[in-house]
Every structure is written in C-alpha cells, then in structure tokens.
Structure 1
Amino acid sequence: MSTIQHVPTWARPEVDNFKATGRLQGQDVKHVPIPPEQVDAVELKLTQQIGQLIQADETPFDQAKGEPGTVKVEQMGLSAIAHFEGDTKEGTVAMEASGPINTAAYGEFSSASANLVQLVQLDEGNFATVGAHIDRQNPAESYVELKNVPDGMVGF
C-alpha cells in the first residue's frame, strides 16, 4: 500500500489537490513566499519532527513495533500514527493524530523539493490548512500557503 493511502478520507481532497498542484484550493488562501535566507530554517522545522518519528520506528516507543514503516504513539489522550517510505531526503510520509485535536499531514521529499500539507480540524467539517513547498534547487521559489488558519495558530 502506498503511503498516500494512509491519509484519512476527510483530508484526502486537500492532500490530493496539493500533491497534484502544489497549491491549496479555495479563494481564501494566503500565499507567503519564504525569503531565501530563511528556507533552510523552515525546511529544518518541517523535517525535524518527521525525522524524529521515523527514527522512533521499531524502538520501545513504537506501539506498532513489528510493522517497519509504521510508527504509532499513544499518550495523554492523543493517538498518532505515521506511515512512511524512505526519509525526509527521499521519501513520503502520511500522519494522522486523533484526540483533543484531529490532524492529518502528508509529505513528499526528493532531491528537488520538500512538500508538506497539514490539516487541523477546528470543528466539524472546518479545517485549518497549511501547505509548504521547499524548492531545494531554487530556494527563492519556496513558499507556504495558509487557509482558514486562526491568528496565532502555528502549523507543522
């Protein structure tokens, strides 16, 4: 099963669109170019947490031990699961968390770019969405897009 198949159905339309176009869909999308001097820091922020999840695979913290490529963690009322192939240099990841906050994310990583989209459920049927495109070959083309993100909310 490919990694994208692990994205929950409620998140698939936005994830599929971002995967195909590199853009969030809708009229109220805020497009924010990333200044070239900040691209490395933004990429580090995006990939660091994913890298930590990948490193937890098959460790005592992994409640899906015995299923390489799947990491599951449950603590303090939050259940999170990540499915991945490869790593944050070359690979894909799908993540879902449920509990007090429901969230889903999907990322694709290659030598050319890093793309990640995350949805956070604000209430029934209402999601804050953050999409990021890091152009590893031309950093000046990197950007973040925000849709329905409340002031003060930070994605990823």
Structure 2
Amino acid sequence: MSIVPKETIEVIAQSIGINNLSSDVALALAPDVEYRVREIMQEAIKCMRHSKRTILTADDVDSALNLRNVEPIYGFASGDPLRFKRAVGHKDLFYIDDKDVEFKDVIEAPIPKAPLDTAVVAHWLAIEGVQPAIPENAPVEGFYFNFILCYIIYVTK
C-alpha cells in the first residue's frame, strides 16, 4: 500500500495529456512515485544539512534533482521558505498562496541601477625605499610600518 493514492496518479496523468490511464496501472505506479519522491526529498535534506541550514528551500530540491540528473523545477527562486495554506473544506490539501503580478506594474517599475564596474589600479608602495605621500599610501604607523621598512631595506641591499 502506497501513501500516494492512485487518484493522484490519475490526476497527474490527465494533466500531462494521458486520459485513458487504467486504475490498475495507476495503482502499480503509485509505489514507484512514492519511492522517487522520497529519494529526492532525502537528497534535498542532505543538501540542506550540508548548507548548515534547518529550513528546506526550493534550491535544496533543485540541487537534489541536479544530483539525480533530472531537470530542476523552474519558478521558485526565493531563499525564503514556502508558506503553505490549508485549502478550505479539505484537511489534507495545502497550496502556496502566490500573489498576482500585473504586467503593467512590471513594465512601469523603475529600472534597477547597473552594477558598478570592477577596476584594478596599480601603484608603487615605495620607490627606492621611500614611500610617496599619495592618497593610495595611507600613513602607516607602528609595527606594520617598521616591517615594510625592514623588508624594503632588505630587498634593496
């Protein structure tokens, strides 16, 4: 006996276009579906624990699917845990309450700022043992300054 009822298998088959699935086939597929779901969830829990988190996220499930060479689920990119709500009139049926997004609001939203470009600037720390007084060379005091001077003197000898 499987936890996944054969009716669920029949509904999933109808949703992908298989309308004439017999109840015997659905009954035989239910334990296999349960096994595969358990296997993916165990891998997802491993991914969660390796990430040192206590909340299972959609990214953990995607990582588990990638480990099994299965195409990941698209559409859930939030790092927040999913908030399930109980369906009215059903004690064991839950759903994710998604907000509707108006296309007009997305178009009219301001464009985010472009990320800053990275740059590398090179300058001399010291020239012939003398540290130039430029903004890149902040005044260094104490041990660190003595260490640099000793290193510069050692290298120049």
TM-score range, shorter chain: under 0.3
Higher relative contact order (CA 8 A, sep 6+): 1
- The structure whose residues are more often helix, as a share, is 2
Instruction: Choose 1 or 2 for highest CA Rg.
Output: 2
